[in-house]
């Protein structure tokens, strides 16, 4: 394996430069010398690997290593400092082009501090602006900059938005193309980079990142601030660089797993995720060694806009999965599975997003089957199938190009648009269909080899199809599956494997009987979360208020602390103007900001004419300041919200 000399040298330089301030950098420097970082994989050059969502010019000059030295200013809501980039350049390279968004650049220099000419180009929606630096033969550039208070990758929370209510909080969210708003680099998933960071924060806050922490307690900077140092010596896609700062505590759940969160959330979180070690063991037994060292989970404040984010070594998770009974832990299986599908083998462009998410949903379900059995796994897969069917409808039907696995996004299309159950569930159905054709043993062996062959590399849809043709399928099998139809054509192929839960027919029956006037007492009581969700989703969308009242009186869905049940109930109730559910909706929408829940609820209200529109506007005015830009961006569009309205 080739040493990534440039990156390692730069890192050693940075650490050496810090040694005066810290006094203990020799251990860290030693680590650098000992660690042989995997060579940074070449950027793919086939036309299908061209990333229209980045300004980068990797064929001329590409970033191989990012070194951040940033301080968090919680008063101004900005990050300030430097990013030093190591480059690999072509012989005649003139310039490097980076992605930036709303950054204020103070200077660009070479390694010795000599200014380099640079230009910030025209800013475009979602993409931000290219930063073009004239290289003058340099292989390292240093950018001094600060972020905008509105940087979409960063959410600055007031103490009131945290569990402890005493300290502010900051977290980043990089995927898909947000990291350019706090890190000036080539923000393209096919351009892998090693990285390190020094993050200075006010005491007593703690910084954590998706990397190895080199200084667990933080080091002195000046009296009221301290600095945390991190290192990722494996090349990762830049959307996977992540940071959180807050009053954070850690508790181990095993030798290589643990939970980071605010102290007020720690016990609950540790209880919910006590089985982390088993998750990692199960994943490894399926597809080979976990290659990232530790696997920890950070439980964020409720405004985190996603269920989870697979930041390497440190999954970011919403507190809304803490149901108290571990019923929603498949989310952890999902984010962990990304340690292979997504983080090891990474979608080369956002058109190949299904390679990240479809593989991961498949893998997640295999972990769930191993740990919780076939019954639970089948229920979750079957709910996924329904989600896929809904996504086909939402896309405008089975002929819509948005129902293709491989997308053909133009640059004006936000990669976020691809985050639908097509990528997730049609992707998983594709893999289940292959599994059924070749048998589980053969498929598992193949996948294990696939992750090894492509570890730390980008992958395109065509690359995957070529690999599976070469290493797994006979011509007859490839034909039977119809790989190209699956990957490139809209709709759900007729051979799609639909995993059916044998627990669901009883729920469907119960829903039907209850809707037709049956007694609420005959609705099953002691069922799993997944069955309950199925039951709620099967109820007709025009139930009478009397029927809804009977249900809520009996099951108290309006007060459910299980976010998935609460959401399924509110979707049903708001869809028929059931006023008694409005306070519950208001409480739910103002106490968490997970887009998957928030956006459909506002959409449902919005679709209800004057009644719902008024409620939506009232609740949104109250909730919006607490939402992350990812969530408010989506809801603004639904409600046609003009920021001036605030
Ligand atoms: N990687 C995604 C989150 C993501 C995708 C963020 C695209 C930004 C752009 C993560 O792994 C994910 O899929 N999260 C899901 C939960 C999962 C259990 C399906 C979510 O947040 O709902
Ligand atoms: Zn995912």
Q: Is the pLDDT of residue 14 over 60?
A: no
Give mean pLDDT, residues 7-28: 33
CATH code for the domain defined by 35-246 = 2.60.40.1730
Number of H helices and number of E strands within the chain?
A: 20, 22
Identify the pLDDT of residue 27: 32
- Which residues, 6 or more positions from 610, have their beta carbon under 8 angstroms from its beta carbon? none
The secondary structure of residue 523, as a DSSP letter, is S
* Mean pLDDT score across all residues of the chain: 93
Q: What is the rounded distance in angstroms from the CA atom of residue 438 to the CA atom of residue 138?
A: 52
Q: 245-275, pLDDT tens digit by residue?
A: 999 999 999 999 999 999 999 999 999 999 9
How many other CB atoms sit within 10 Å of the CB of residue 617?
16
Share of the chain above pLDDT 70, in %: 93
Residue 132 pLDDT: 99
488 is catalytic: no
Per-residue pLDDT, 34? 33
Q: Which ligand 1 atom minimizes the distance to the CA of 307?
A: 21
638: its two tokens: 């639904």
Report the pLDDT averaged over residues 309-331. Answer: 98
The two tokens of residue 234 are 């494996």
Q: Residue 23 pLDDT > 80, yes or no?
A: no
DSSP for 27-88, written as a single string: HHHHHHHH--PPPPPPPP-SGGG--TT----TTTEEEEEEEEEEEEETTTTEEEEEEEEEEE
Is the CB of residue 308 below 6 angstroms from any atom belonging to ligand 1? Answer: yes
- Please report the atom of ligand 1 found closest to the CA of residue 334: 18
What pLDDT, in 10s, does the model give residues 489-511? 999 999 999 999 999 999 999 99
Asked if pLDDT for residue 430 goes beyond 80, the answer is yes
- Any idea which fold 345-488 has? Neutral Protease; domain 2 (1.10.390)
Q: State the DSSP string of 338-373.
A: TTTBTTTEEESSGGGHHHHHHHHHHHHHHHHHHHHH
pLDDT surpassing 80 at residue 644: no
For residues 387-395, give the mean pLDDT: 98
Q: Does the CB atom of residue 596 touch ligand 1 within 6 A?
A: yes
Domain boundaries, the chain: 35-246, 249-337, 345-488, 515-645
Q: What is the pLDDT of residue 38?
A: 74
Look up residue 495 and give its DSSP letter: T
How much is the pLDDT for 39?
Answer: 83
Give, in words, the CATH class of 249-337. Answer: alpha beta
Residues with CB under 5 A from ligand 2 (ion): 357, 360
**Mean pLDDT, to the nearest integer, of 596-617?**
98
Q: What is the structure's pLDDT at 35?
A: 38
Task: Enumerate the known binding-site residues for Zn(2+).
Answer: 334, 338, 357
Output the pLDDT for position 218. 73
Inform me whether the pLDDT recorded for 21 exceeds 70.
no
Please, which pLDDT band fits residue 221 given cuts at 50, 70 and 90?
Answer: low
CB 396 within 8 A of CB 548: no
Residue 602 has pLDDT above 50, yes or no: yes
Out of 7-16, 128-137, 458-467, 560-569, least confident range: 7-16
pLDDT for 485 equals: 98
* Four-CA torsion 502, 508, 513, 516, nearest 10 degrees: -170
Query: How far apart are alpha carbons 212 and 573 in whole angstroms?
Result: 46
Question: Among candidates 271, 278, 430, which has minimal Cα distance to 357?
Answer: 430
pLDDT of 7 strictly over 80: no
Whether residue 32 has pLDDT greater than 80: no
Q: Is the pLDDT of residue 328 over 80?
A: yes
Distances (CA, A) of 430 to 22, 463, 532: 52, 16, 27
Q: Which residues contact 604 (CB under 8 A, 6 or more apart)?
A: 570, 571, 574, 575, 612
The three-class DSSP label of residue 308 is strand
Catalytic residue, candidates 424, 446, 620, 627: 424
Q: Is the CB of 334 under 6 A from ligand 1?
A: yes
- State whether the beta carbon of 463 lies less than 6 angstroms from ligand 1: no
- pLDDT grade, residue 562 (50/70/90)? very high
Class of domain 515-645: mainly alpha
| Cβ–Cβ < 8 Å for 124, 44 | no
Q: Give the mutation target among 53, 210, 242, 306 for probing the ligand 1 site: most ligand atoms within 8 A of CB.
A: 306
Active site residue 239: no
What are the tens digits of pLDDT across the range 93-148? 999 999 999 999 999 999 999 999 999 999 999 999 999 999 999 999 999 999 99
Distance from C-alpha of 181 to C-alpha of 155, rounded to nearest angstrom = 12
**pLDDT tens, 200-217?**
999 999 999 999 999 877
């Amino acid at each position: 394996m080739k040493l990534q000399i440039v990156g390692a040298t730069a890192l050693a330089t940075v650490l050496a430069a810090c040694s005066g301030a810290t006094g203990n950098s020799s251990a860290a420097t030693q680590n650098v010398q000992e660690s042989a970082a995997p060579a940074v994989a070449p950027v793919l050059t086939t036309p299908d690997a061209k990333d229209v969502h980045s300004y980068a010019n990797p064929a001329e000059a590409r970033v191989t290593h990012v070194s951040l030295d940033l301080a968090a200013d919680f008063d101004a809501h900005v990050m300030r400092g430097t990013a030093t980039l190591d480059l690999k350049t072509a012989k005649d390279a003139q310039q490097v082009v980076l992605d930036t968004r709303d950054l204020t650049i103070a200077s660009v220099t070479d390694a010795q501090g000599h200014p380099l000419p640079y230009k910030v180009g025209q800013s475009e929606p979602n993409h931000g602006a290219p930063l073009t630096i004239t290289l003058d033969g340099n292989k390292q550039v240093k950018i001094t900059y600060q972020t905008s208070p509105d940087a979409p990758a960063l959410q600055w929370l007031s103490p009131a938005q945290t569990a402890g209510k005493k300290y502010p909080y900051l977290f980043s969210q990089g995927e898909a193309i947000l990291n350019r708003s706090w890190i000036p680099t080539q923000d393209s998933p096919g351009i892998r980079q090693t990285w390190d960071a020094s993050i200075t924060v006010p005491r007593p806050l703690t910084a954590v990142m998706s990397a190895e922490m080199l200084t667990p307690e933080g080091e002195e900077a000046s009296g009221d601030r301290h600095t945390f140092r991190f290192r990722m010596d494996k090349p990762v896609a830049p959307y996977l660089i992540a940071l959180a700062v807050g009053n954070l505590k850690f508790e181990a759940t095993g030798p290589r797993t643990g939970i980071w969160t605010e102290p007020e959330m720690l016990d609950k979180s540790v209880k919910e995720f006590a089985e982390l070690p088993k998750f990692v063991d199960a994943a490894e037994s399926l597809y080979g060694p976990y290659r990232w060292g530790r696997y920890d989970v950070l439980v964020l404040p409720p405004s985190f806009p996603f269920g989870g984010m697979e930041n390497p070594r440190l999954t970011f998770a919403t507190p809304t999965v803490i149901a108290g009974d571990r019923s929603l832990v498949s989310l952890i299986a999902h984010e962990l599975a990304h340690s292979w599908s997504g983080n090891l083998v990474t979608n080369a462009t956002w058109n190949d997003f299904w390679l990240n998410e479809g593989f991961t949903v498949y893998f997640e379900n295999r972990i769930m089957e191993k740990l919780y059995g076939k019954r639970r796994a089948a229920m979750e897969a079957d709910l996924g199938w329904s989600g896929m069917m809904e996504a086909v409808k939402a896309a405008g039907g089975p002929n819509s190009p948005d129902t293709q696995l491989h997308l053909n996004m133009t640059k004006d299309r936000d990669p976020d648009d691809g985050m639908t159950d097509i990528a997730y569930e049609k992707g998983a159905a594709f893999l289940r269909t292959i599994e059924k054709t070749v048998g589980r043993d053969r498929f598992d062996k193949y996948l294990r080899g696939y992750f090894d062959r492509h570890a730390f590399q980008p992958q395109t849809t065509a690359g995957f199809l070529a690999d599976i043709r070469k290493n797994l399928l006979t011509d007859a099998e490839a034909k039977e599956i119809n790989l190209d139809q699956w990957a490139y054509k809209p709709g759900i192929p007729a051979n799609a494997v639909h995993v059916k839960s044998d627990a669901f027919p009883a729920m469907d029956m119960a829903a039907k009987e209850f809707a037709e006037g049956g007694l609420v007492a005959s609705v099953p009581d002691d069922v799993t979360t997944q069955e309950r969700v199925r039951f709620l989703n099967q109820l007709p969308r025009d139930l009478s208020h009397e029927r809804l009242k009977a249900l809520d009186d009996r099951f108290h869905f309006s007060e459910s602390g299980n976010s998935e049940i609460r959401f399924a109930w509110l979707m049903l109730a708001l869809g028929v103007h059931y006023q008694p559910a409005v306070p519950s909706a208001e409480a739910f929408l103002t106490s968490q900001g997970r887009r998957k829940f928030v956006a459909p609820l506002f959409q449902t209200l919005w679709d209800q004419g004057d009644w719902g529109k008024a409620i939506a506007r009232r609740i949104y005015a109250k909730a919006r300041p607490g939402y992350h830009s990812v969530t408010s961006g989506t809801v603004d569009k639904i409600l046609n919200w003009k920021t001036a309205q605030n």
